[in-house]
Amino acid sequence: MVRFSTIALALASVLPQLTQGAGLHTSAVAKGKLYFGSATDNPELTDAPYLTQLSNTDDFGQITPGNSQKWDAIEPSQNTFSYTKGDVIADLAAKNGQKLRCHTLVWHSQLPSWVSSGSWTNATLIAAMKNHITNVVTHYKGKCYAWDVANEALNEDGTYRDSVFYKYIGEAYLPIAFATAAAADPDAKLYYNDYNIESAGSKSSGAQRIVKLVQQYGAKIDGVGLQAHFIVGSTPSQSAQTSNLAAFTALGVDVAYTELDIRMTLPSTTALLTQQSTDYKNTVAACMANTKCVGITIWDYTDKYSWVPSTFSGQGDACPWDKNLVKKPAYAGILAALGGTSSTTTTLVTSTTTAGSGGATSVPLYGQCGGSGWTGGTTCASGTCKPINNWYSQCL
């Protein structure tokens, strides 16, 4: 009787492998959009593979600083301005030839306590707000494609959020903020930005009211940013998003998806990743269908640095790239909506087959499990390397 010990055989298999076609930004621009972009943050920039992909202008023609231009970062104490971190991201955008979306000037959150708990009058808070806006916008003059001038001014029912600004200034803080930003950088596009305004409802109507309010004051407002922090399977339909975008653009402003991510309850499954791809596709398609939807920004591109797990307990995997910087099905969904194609070529790919008493196992190596990029192996730190779809495998 012939006995076989377990042997590993490296077999050359002829498999179709995904190759780089036009990326997300290239495809978006080819269809008339200004950009496809990603948020980023200073600590991540020391991660060389992360930075390489962020700087890949085939995928990303625009970046947004996730934290370093917020009030607490820039003016931690009154009239003391610190631009070091924000400048790192602005300089990166300039070096890469990427547009910079600047975020954000007036927001109730991530405020230093001297603002949120200060003892203000109407006049003193207007002066402090105008001083902040003028300093920051002047510092970045000519560098910001757009500014999120006001962020999240609304409650879910469309009434004004009881922020320190609303409390001491009233709704007039909004047109004052826009007028002050416009005076400091007349060329920057000025946006109102919020979440849960991506389909029709009280909050979307509230955002439309803000656009009209700023316009009625004679101040400049160029666009509305729809954050689009969505949940897999609960993302508004494409048609609901399309009609909602039209309601904004009918007011004469641009729109943009500014913080798109689509989270799931962990652990991820093949079904959730597939639904996530569909959800991304529908949202991007809604933007594509409106000529005044200028671009789409994802709120960081990789699950490795997403804000979601630290904010929403038990949830994550919200980005189009996984923690190993490998593209997920969401990437293909976005690309399809952008009208891009993932070209395939026939390539020799090495597959490891183990023969022995237990028979043979083989895992397709279209995408990586344990390595990085498209050439990783089948080793998993935890779980088993399993095919996700015709494109790649993942440790599950």
Ligand X SMILES: O[C@@H]1[C@@H](O)[C@H](O[C@@H]2CO[C@@H](O[C@@H]3CO[C@@H](O[C@@H]4CO[C@@H](O)[C@H](O)[C@H]4O)[C@H](O)[C@H]3O)[C@H](O)[C@H]2O)OC[C@H]1O
Q: Which residues of this protein are in contact with ligand X, per CB under 6 A?
A: 66-67, 109, 151, 195-196, 227, 229, 259, 307
User: Do the beta carbons of residue 183 and residue 223 sit within 8 Å?
Assistant: no
Nearer of residues 168 and 195 to ligand X, judged by Cβ: 195
* Rounded CA separation 384/368 (Å): 12
Provide, rounded to whole angstroms, the least separation between the CB of residue 259 and ligand X.
5
Catalytic one of 44, 75, 152, 198: 152
What HEC string does the chain produce?
Answer: CCCCCCEEEEEEEEEEEECCCCCHHHHHHHCCCCEEEEEECHHHHHCHHHHHHHCCCCCCCEEEECCCCCHHHHCCECCECCCHHHHHHHHHHHHHCCEEEEEEEEECCCCCHHHHCCCCCHHHHHHHHHHHHHHHHHHCCCCCCEEEEEECCECCCCCECCCHHHHHHHHHHHHHHHHHHHHHCCCCEEEEEECCCCCCCHHHHHHHHHHHHHHHCCCCCCEEEECCEEECCCCCCHHHHHHHHHHHHCCCCEEEEEEEEEEEECCCCHHHHHHHHHHHHHHHHHHHCCCCEEEEEECCCECCCCCHHHHCCCEECCCCECCCCCECHHHHHHHHHCCCCCCEEEEEEEEEEEECCCCCECCCCCCCCCCCCCCCCCCCCCCCEEECCCCCEEEC
Smallest distance, ligand X to C-beta of residue 153, A: 12
CB of 335 to ligand X, least distance (A): 24
- Any catalytic annotation for residue 259? yes
CB of 395 to ligand X, least distance (A): 26
Please, what is the Cα angle at 102 between 311 and 253, to 5 degrees? 100
CB of 66 to ligand X, least distance (A): 4
Give the residue with the Cβ less far from ligand X, 67 or 393: 67
When the beta carbons of 126 and 146 are compared against ligand X, the nearer one is 146
Instruction: Pick between residue 66 and residue 112 the one whose CB is nearest to ligand X.
Output: 66
Question: Is there a catalytic annotation at residue 171?
Answer: no
Q: Are strands 62-65 and 35-40 parallel, antiparallel or unpaired?
A: parallel
- Using DSSP's 3-state secondary structure scheme, residue 115 falls into helix
Q: How far is the CB of 229 from ligand X (least distance, A)?
A: 3
Could you tell me the smallest distance in angstroms from the CB atom of residue 195 to ligand X? Answer: 4
The catalytically annotated residue of 44, 156, 198, 259 is 259
Phi-psi region at 24: left, alpha or beta (left = phi > 0; alpha = psi -120 to 50): alpha
Closer residue to ligand X (CB): 262 or 287 = 262
Give 310 or 382: the residue with its C-beta nearer to ligand X.
Answer: 310
For ligand X, the closer of residues 197 and 388 by Cβ is 197
Which residue is nearest to ligand X, using beta carbons? Answer: 229
Catalytic residue list = 152, 259
